[in-house]
């Protein structure tokens, strides 16, 4: 046992000396800043936003002049035969087969088209900009979720670390008591059962300490995952616990909180997007007008001598206007407009559902947070009492006036009370995060932390 204790002491000393050299100390804000740069979900949302921006540029490009260059080369292996009437050569009532054309043809040209009137262009541009807005809202939503995940993992990690430190203090005290009791037993001052009771308590604390250490490593791994940090990386958290004396103020102005919620904003934008889709389908009923211009040249040869300068090339050009007036599409356009209207009604219902869901969340998280505040005050008082009872019982036992049973029971009670307190403390922090998130104020809350 002494060898194992020595090894553990050396290990803890090594970690204490080496970790500060190999890992950076992170506050909650620093963890969030790191996540904003490295979390894959945020990177994906940013890429989606860039894609939406390119879609706007694409739609703008549809309204600019479209210029195309074309070219072709034909090798007529078998020239087409045409049938001409015999009247052309004085043989009425007969037909004459004639091959018209040359074996080799080359043509090239350049064309320009420009939209003059096309209602669908402006509607499409509006839809692309709305999609860009949705992408920006999605970035905000992803950022808020990352803040929540990192904050929850951070709080859990530092609370488990605090549990670990307190268990080490209890274990150290239990070890001293065990050694003292073993010495008394050797001198015939106590019974063997007294030693065994204290050893059982010591082993229980040691086992709980080892389990807490594993939980701490797992909590750190989860935190690094949400931060976008490699799991092999070393990270040290600031040991100061957040303020547990959080005040509770229930707001009655829930309308502002509903408007703050990014998921509510996204639902409103979706309604606008479906309304734009309906406008786009209606615009299919309207005529379009475009300007066009083209210039072409071609050459026809019996032999492949297109590069000879003395051979003729023939050109042609034209400009004009093209008007398209939709007349009948088999009720296809009508069906699209009807679908758009149904999608609008569906989006409005989803917006109402989101609003009701937010109201329920606000009410529930208010209750949860209020209960968490009440519970932490009770657990804090219990912890203070349990620590005082444990210290007094230790003193009485060392003076020979206290029993082993009392010492073991108070130590067990202290471990349980500490565990309850830190569990309630974590519940309080998570409840605060839930409340701020339900109000749409989580980002401001984190930014205002000291």
pLDDT in tens, 359-405: 999 999 999 999 999 999 899 999 999 999 999 998 888 887 878 88
Q: What's the CA gap between 192 and 195, in Å, rounded? A: 5
DSSP-derived pairing of the beta strands 288-301 and 104-117 = antiparallel
Contact (Cβ atoms closer than 8 angstroms) between residue 255 and residue 359: no
Structure tokens of 193? Answer: 């059962």
pLDDT confidence of residue 250: 56
pLDDT confidence of residue 246: 57
Q: Which residues lie closer than 8 Å to 312 by C-beta, 6 or more apart? A: 299
Please, which pLDDT band fits residue 12 given cuts at 50, 70 and 90? very low
Residue 244 has pLDDT above 70, yes or no: no
Domain residue limits, the chain = 2-63+118-286+328-447, 72-115+291-325
CB atoms within 10 A of CB 214: 10
Residue 4 has pLDDT above 50, yes or no: no
The residues with which 85 forms a beta bridge, in sequence order, are 95
Specify the fold of 2-63+118-286+328-447.
Answer: Outer membrane efflux proteins (OEP) (1.20.1600)
Mean pLDDT value across residues 424-436: 93
Which three-class secondary structure state does DSSP give residue 101?
coil
Structure tokens of 58? Answer: 């694409």
pLDDT confidence of residue 401: 81
Mean pLDDT value across residues 293-307: 86
Contact (Cβ atoms closer than 8 angstroms) between residue 53 and residue 78: no
Q: What's the CA gap between 291 and 64, in Å, rounded? A: 12
Please, which pLDDT band fits residue 194 given cuts at 50, 70 and 90? confident
Q: Which residues lie closer than 8 Å to 347 by C-beta, 6 or more apart? A: 267, 270, 271, 273, 274
pLDDT confidence of residue 99: 84
pLDDT confidence of residue 369: 93
pLDDT confidence of residue 113: 95
pLDDT confidence of residue 23: 55
DSSP per-residue codes, 300-345? EESSS-TT-TTS--EEEEEEEEEEE-----TTHHHHHHHHHHHHHH
Q: What's the CA gap between 205 and 127, in Å, rounded? A: 63
Structure tokens of 103? Answer: 């074996």
Q: What's the CA gap between 410 and 318, in Å, rounded? A: 101
Mean pLDDT value across residues 94-123: 90
């Amino acid at each position: 046992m002494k060898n194992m204790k020595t090894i553990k002491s050396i290990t803890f000393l090594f970690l204490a000396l080496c970790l500060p050299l190999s890992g950076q100390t992170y506050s909650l804000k620093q963890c969030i800043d790191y996540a904003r740069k490295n979390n894959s979900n945020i990177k994906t949302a940013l890429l989606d936003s860039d894609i939406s921006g390119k879609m706007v540029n694409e739609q703008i490009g549809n309204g600019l002049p479209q210029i195309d260059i074309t070219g072709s080369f034909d090798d007529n292996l078998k020239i087409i035969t045409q049938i001409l009437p015999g009247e052309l050569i004085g043989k009425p009532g007969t037909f004459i087969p004639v091959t018209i054309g040359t074996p080799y043809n080359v043509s090239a040209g350049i064309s320009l088209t420009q939209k003059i009137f096309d209602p669908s262009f402006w509607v499409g541009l509006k839809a692309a900009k709305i999609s860009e807005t949705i992408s920006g809202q999605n970035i905000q939503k992803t950022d808020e979720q990352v803040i929540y995940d990192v904050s929850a993992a951070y709080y859990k990690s530092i609370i488990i670390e605090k549990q670990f430190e307190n268990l080490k203090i209890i274990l150290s005290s239990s070890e001293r008591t065990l050694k003292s009791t073993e010495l008394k037993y050797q001198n015939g001052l106590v019974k063997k059962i007294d030693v065994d009771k204290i050893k059982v308590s010591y082993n229980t604390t040691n086992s709980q300490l080892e389990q807490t250490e594993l939980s701490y490593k797992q909590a750190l791994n989860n935190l690094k995952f949400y931060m976008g940090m490699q799991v092999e990386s070393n990270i040290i958290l600031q040991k100061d616990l957040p303020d547990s004396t959080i005040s509770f103020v229930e707001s009655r102005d829930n309308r502002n909180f509903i408007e703050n919620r990014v998921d509510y904003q996204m639902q409103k934008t979706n309604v606008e997007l479906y309304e734009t889709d309906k406008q786009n389908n209606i615009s299919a009923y309207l005529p379009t007008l475009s300007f066009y211009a083209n210039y072409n040249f071609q050459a026809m040869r019996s032999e492949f001598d297109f590069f000879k300068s003395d051979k003729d090339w023939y050109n042609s050009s034209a400009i004009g206007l093209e008007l398209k007036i939709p007349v009948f599409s088999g009720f296809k356009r009508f069906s699209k407009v009807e679908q758009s209207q149904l999608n609008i009604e569906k989006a409005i219902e989803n917006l109402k559902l989101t609003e009701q869901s937010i109201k329920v969340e606000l009410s529930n998280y208010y209750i949860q947070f209020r209960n968490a505040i009440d519970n932490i005050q009770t657990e804090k008082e219990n912890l203070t009492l349990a620590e005082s009872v444990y210290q007094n019982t230790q003193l009485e036992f060392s003076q020979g006036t206290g029993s082993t049973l009392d010492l073991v029971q108070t130590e067990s009670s202290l471990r349980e009370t500490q565990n309850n307190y830190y569990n309630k403390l974590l519940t309080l922090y998570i409840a605060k995060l839930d409340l701020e998130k339900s109000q749409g104020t989580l980002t401001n809350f984190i930014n205002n932390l000291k």
